[in-house]
C-alpha cells in the first residue's frame, strides 16, 4: 500500500468513527460509499467488518445491560442474523454492478426516510411481523453490502424510543449481526488475512474518531449535522446507483 492510500484510509476511518460516535449509525454506509471509489464493493466490506463489529460491541456495552434490548427484540435478531450470514456467504457471487446498485439503493432509502419520512407509530399487535420483516430485510442488505441500518432505523423510529435508548438499541442489534457478518465473510473466504489486518489496524483511527464524536454529541447542533450527513449519504448513494446501473 502506498502512503497516499494509507493516509486516505486513516482519514476515512477517523471520519467514519466520528459520525458513529455522534449519531450511533453511519459508519458502514460512509466507509462503503467512499471505499468503493478505491476497491470493489465486497473488498470494501471485507476491510470494514472488524471495525463494524468492534465499534458496535463498544456502543452496545455503554450505558447498562443489553439483556432487556435482546429480550424485547429477539425475533428481529434471529431473522437478521440468519439472513446476514447466508447473504454474506453468497454475496461474492453477485456482480459488482448489482452490489453497487444495492449499496446505493440502501443509502438512498435510508437518507430519504430520515430526511423526509414520517414513520407512523407501530401498533403493538404488528410488532412480531414487523420484527421479522425488518430483521430479514436488514440481514439481506447487511450480508450483501454491510449497510443494514435502513430497515432497523425505520422499525425503531416507529417505536418512538428516546434518542439515547435508540442509539444503544442500534448498537446491540448491529453488534449481534456483525458477528454473523464476520462469520459469513470468513467462511466464504472473502475475509483474507491481508484485509483482516487492514481492518484491525483501522480500529485505531476509528476509535479516535468515535471518541471525539461522542464528546461533541452534546455540544453540536445535531439537527444541522444530521441533515448535512444525510444529504451527503443521499449523494453518495445516487452516485453508487449510477455506477451500478450505467458503469464508470
pLDDT tens across 139-175, in order?
998 898 888 877 888 888 888 887 778 878 888 888 8
User: Is 54 in contact with 172 (CB distance < 8 Å)?
Assistant: no
- Give the helix/strand (H/E) hosting 142: helix 127-145
pLDDT at residue 74 tops 90 = yes
State the pLDDT confidence band at 61, using cuts at 50, 70 and 90.
confident
* Lowest model confidence (mean pLDDT) among 6-15, 55-64, 87-96, 133-142: 55-64
CA 67 – CA 92 distance, rounded (Å): 34
Number of domains observed in the structure of the chain: 1
State the pLDDT confidence band at 117, using cuts at 50, 70 and 90.
low
Q: In the prediction, which pLDDT does 49 show?
A: 93
Q: In the prediction, which pLDDT does 191 show?
A: 94
Please give the residue range of the domain that contains residue 183.
Answer: 3-244
* Lowest model confidence (mean pLDDT) among 5-9, 52-56, 219-223: 219-223
Q: How much of the chain exceeds pLDDT 90, in percent?
A: 37
Q: In the prediction, which pLDDT does 58 show?
A: 86
Q: In the prediction, which pLDDT does 29 show?
A: 80
Q: Averaged over 48-71, what is the pLDDT?
A: 86
CA 244 – CA 119 distance, rounded (Å): 29
Rounded alpha-carbon distances, angstroms, from residue 202 to 24, 176, 192: 18, 21, 15
State the pLDDT confidence band at 46, using cuts at 50, 70 and 90.
very high
The 3-state DSSP class for residue 196 equals: helix
Q: In the prediction, which pLDDT does 66 show?
A: 84
Query: How does 199-208 read in b/e, with b if 16+ C-beta sit within 10 Å?
Result: bebbbebbbb
Q: Quick one: cell of 183? A: 462469520
pLDDT at residue 216 tops 90 = no
Q: In the prediction, which pLDDT does 6 show?
A: 94
Could you tell me which residue, 117 or 240, shows the higher pLDDT? 240
pLDDT at residue 75 tops 70 = yes
State the pLDDT confidence band at 63, using cuts at 50, 70 and 90.
low
Q: Averaged over 188-213, what is the pLDDT?
A: 94
CA 126 – CA 160 distance, rounded (Å): 15
Q: In the prediction, which pLDDT does 222 show?
A: 62
Amino acid at each position: 500500500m502506498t502512503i497516499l492510500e494509507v493516509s486516505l484510509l486513516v482519514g476515512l476511518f477517523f471520519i467514519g468513527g466520528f459520525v458513529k460516535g455522534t449519531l450511533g449509525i453511519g459508519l458502514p454506509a460512509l466507509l462503503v460509499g467512499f471505499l468503493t471509489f478505491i476497491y470493489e464493493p465486497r473488498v470494501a466490506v471485507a476491510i470494514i467488518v472488524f471495525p463494524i463489529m468492534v465499534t458496535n460491541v463498544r456502543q452496545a456495552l455503554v450505558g447498562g445491560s443489553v439483556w432487556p434490548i435482546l429480550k424485547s427484540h429477539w425475533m428481529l435478531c434471529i431473522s437478521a442474523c440468519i439472513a446476514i450470514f447466508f447473504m454474506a456467504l453468497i454475496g461474492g457471487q453477485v456482480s459488482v454492478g448489482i452490489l453497487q446498485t444495492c449499496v446505493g439503493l440502501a443509502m438512498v432509502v435510508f437518507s430519504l426516510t430520515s430526511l423526509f419520512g414520517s414513520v407512523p407509530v407501530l401498533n403493538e399487535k404488528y410488532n412480531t411481523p414487523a420484527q421479522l420483516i425488518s430483521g430479514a430485510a436488514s440481514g439481506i442488505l447487511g450480508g450483501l453490502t454491510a449497510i443494514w441500518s435502513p430497515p432497523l432505523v425505520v422499525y425503531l423510529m416507529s417505536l418512538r424510543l428516546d434518542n439515547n435508548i435508540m442509539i444503544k438499541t442500534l448498537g446491540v442489534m448491529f453488534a449481534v449481526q456483525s458477528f454473523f457478518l464476520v462469520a459469513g465473510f470468513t467462511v466464504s473466504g472473502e475475509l483474507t488475512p491481508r484485509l483482516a489486518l487492514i481492518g484491525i489496524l483501522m480500529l485505531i483511527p476509528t476509535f479516535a474518531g468515535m471518541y471525539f464524536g461522542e464528546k461533541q454529541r452534546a455540544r453540536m447542533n445535531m439537527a444541522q449535522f444530521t441533515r448535512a450527513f444525510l444529504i451527503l449519504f443521499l449523494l453518495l448513494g445516487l452516485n453508487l446507483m449510477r455506477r451500478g446501473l450505467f458503469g464508470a
